């Protein structure tokens, strides 16, 4: 699984940074987070097939995060899409999509499923085949959603040599052991799952928090995440402006990443004033070594964690 930054500028694009969009690429599926103008071409540049997009998440209805969406929907039609596409965003996203579709009179030979997430429905959950995406509230100048992508944990590997040695017959008992169940053999002997099944493989977790001021909600929700993607629009000297405009400095964001003990922190929505990002990199790294200033088409591989002992995995055992 990797994360690709399709656009890393904030508010206005520059020659080197396009407007916000991030893709998560998994086996055969792409999830898209925000969709600034020109995202359709950035997808091509990143070698991501538009047909693989199943779910699009829009954080908020500011133009820089959403003006690329109509183009994506038109492109899907040109690509002869037949499967539905799912779009999740704040209240108003439906009106934006369907009013634009009506005025520009574009045809979509596929269903556009739009689900508005409001404060009332913030606990909704998007279920993929082996992952979920949850929503939470960010602190921006308008209603803005954060997203938590989390894979389901995978059961550990069954040690077949051990089960044979313990006299477990081939068949359904092995599956029960693999699923964490302790079993009783015909001779009354009990075989404990934990003795024959390796450690569960902890699902990976990515948090998307753009645009936002430094927020407790992000710090709490990001605990132990493999990757936190966070608003890092300004250097520290513009902390007041960041606060006024509902953004974060890279130091504020790095503080959150550090305290949440995330594996990596990627800072994005970079103000166009930082054509040279060195100041931002220095400030971010001075707080948290695992901070990175994102750039367009940057890719981050997300490896599996090892040696995880979180409660849900314990429960599975």
Segment contacting a copy of itself by CB under 8 A, of 91-99, 164-172, 260-268, 280-288: 91-99
- Residue among 27, 34, 64, 276 flagged as catalytic: 64
**CB-wise, 36 or 232, nearer to a copy of itself?**
36
> Binding of a copy of itself at residue 214 (CB under 8 A)?
no
> Binding of a copy of itself at residue 68 (CB under 8 A)?
yes
Per CB under 8 A, the list member of 30, 53, 58, 70 interacting with a copy of itself is 70
User: Binding site membership: which residues?
Assistant: 60, 62, 64-65, 140, 211, 269
**Least CB distance from residue 25 to a copy of itself, whole Å?**
19
Per CB under 8 A, the list member of 2, 44, 84, 121 interacting with a copy of itself is 44
> Binding of a copy of itself at residue 62 (CB under 8 A)?
yes
**Least CB distance from residue 93 to a copy of itself, whole Å?**
9
> Binding of a copy of itself at residue 107 (CB under 8 A)?
no
Segment contacting a copy of itself by CB under 8 A, of 39-47, 147-155, 172-180, 296-304: 39-47
Segment contacting a copy of itself by CB under 8 A, of 57-65, 229-237, 242-250, 294-302: 57-65
Kindly identify the residues of this chain, within the stretch 120-179, that bind a copy of itself according to CB under 8 A: 142
Give the x-and-dash track for 19-38 against a copy of itself (CB under 8 A): ------------------xx
Quote the CA–CA distance of 290 and 1 in Å, as a whole number: 19
> Binding of a copy of itself at residue 99 (CB under 8 A)?
yes
- Under 8 Å between Cβ of 259 and 10: no
**CB-wise, 4 or 227, nearer to a copy of itself?**
4
Kindly identify the residues of this chain, within the stretch 173-202, that bind a copy of itself according to CB under 8 A: none
> Binding of a copy of itself at residue 91 (CB under 8 A)?
no
**Least CB distance from residue 19 to a copy of itself, whole Å?**
8
Strands 2-7 and 264-268 turn out to be: unpaired
**Least CB distance from residue 297 to a copy of itself, whole Å?**
13
> Binding of a copy of itself at residue 113 (CB under 8 A)?
no
Of 69, 33, 71, 78, which Cα lies nearest the Cα of 51? 78
Give me the sheet containing 2-7, strands edge to edge: 112-116, 85-89, 53-57, 29-33, 21-26, 2-7, 299-301
Catalytic residue status for 34:
no
Buried b (16+ CB within 10 A) or exposed e, 119-157: eeeeeeebebeebebbbbbbbbeebbbbbbbbbebebbe
Write out the catalytic residue numbers: 64
Summarize as ranges the residues that interact with a copy of itself (CB under 8 A).
Answer: 11-15, 18, 37-38, 40-41, 44-45, 61-64, 66-68, 70-71, 74-75, 78, 92, 95-96, 99-100, 103-106, 142
């Amino acid at each position: 699984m990797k994360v690709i930054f399709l656009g890393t500028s904030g508010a206005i694009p520059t020659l080197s940074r396009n407007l916000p969009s991030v893709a998560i690429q998994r086996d055969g599926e792409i999830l898209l987070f925000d969709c600034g103008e020109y995202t359709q071409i950035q997808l091509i540049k990143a070698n991501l097939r538009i047909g693989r997009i199943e779910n699009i998440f829009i954080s908020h209805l500011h133009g820089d995060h959403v003006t690329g969406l109509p183009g994506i929907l038109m492109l899907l039609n040109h690509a002869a899409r037949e499967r539905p596409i799912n779009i999740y965003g704040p209240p108003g996203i439906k009106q934006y999509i369907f009013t634009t579709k009506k005025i520009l009179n574009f045809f979509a030979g596929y269903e556009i499923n739009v689900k508005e997430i409001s404060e009332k429905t913030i606990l909704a959950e998007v279920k993929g085949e082996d992952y979920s995406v949850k929503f939470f509230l960010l602190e921006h100048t308008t209603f803005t959603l954060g997203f938590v992508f989390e894979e389901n944990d995978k059961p550990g590997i069954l040690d077949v040599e051990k089960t044979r040695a313990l006299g477990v017959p081939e068949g359904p008992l092995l599956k029960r052991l693999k699923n964490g169940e302790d079993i009783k053999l015909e001779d009354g002997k009990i075989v404990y799952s934990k003795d024959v099944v390796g450690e569960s493989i902890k699902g990976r977790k990515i948090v998307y928090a753009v645009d936002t001021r430094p927020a407790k909600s992000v710090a709490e929700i990001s605990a132990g995440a493999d990757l936190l993607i966070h608003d890092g629009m300004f250097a520290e000297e513009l902390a007041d402006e960041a606060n006024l405009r509902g953004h974060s400095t890279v130091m504020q964001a790095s503080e959150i990443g550090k305290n949440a003990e995330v594996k990596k922190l990627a800072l994005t929505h970079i103000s166009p004033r930082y054509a040279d990002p060195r100041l931002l990199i220095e400030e971010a790294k001075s707080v948290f070594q695992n901070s990175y200033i994102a750039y367009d088409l940057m890719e981050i591989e997300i490896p599996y964690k090892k040696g995880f002992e979180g409660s849900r995995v314990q429960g599975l055992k």
